[in-house]
Amino acid sequence: MGILYDSVKKVDLHREMKRNMVIEKILELGVKEYQGISIYDLSYAELKTVWVLAEMRQVDIHHPDHKWFR
């Protein structure tokens, strides 16, 4: 049973590390909340969505190299 516990513990640690990495990236982009909810209260799937949206907002759509965004 110790082996099973250790593997579950590692999965939880890995999941938490992924979540923290996404939160860190979102904070670097200046986002602290999404739709009135703190990013710390969002699920991992919601965090990924917020991250993508925040990254997309960083693109300068008026730049000639980014005309496919228009």
Q: Residue ranges per domain, the chain?
A: 2-59
Residues with Cβ within 8 Å of residue 6, at least 6 apart in sequence? none
pLDDT, greater one: 7 or 37: 37
| Helix, strand, coil percent content, the chain, rounded in steps of 5 | 70, 5, 25
Q: What is the pLDDT of residue 66?
A: 72
pLDDT above 70 covers what percent of the chain? 86
Q: Report the pLDDT averaged over residues 11-29.
A: 92
pLDDT tens digits along 46-67: 999 999 999 988 877 778 887 7
Task: Give phi and psi for 40, each to the nearest 5.
Answer: -70, -15
Task: Give phi and psi for 38, each to the nearest 5.
Answer: -60, 140
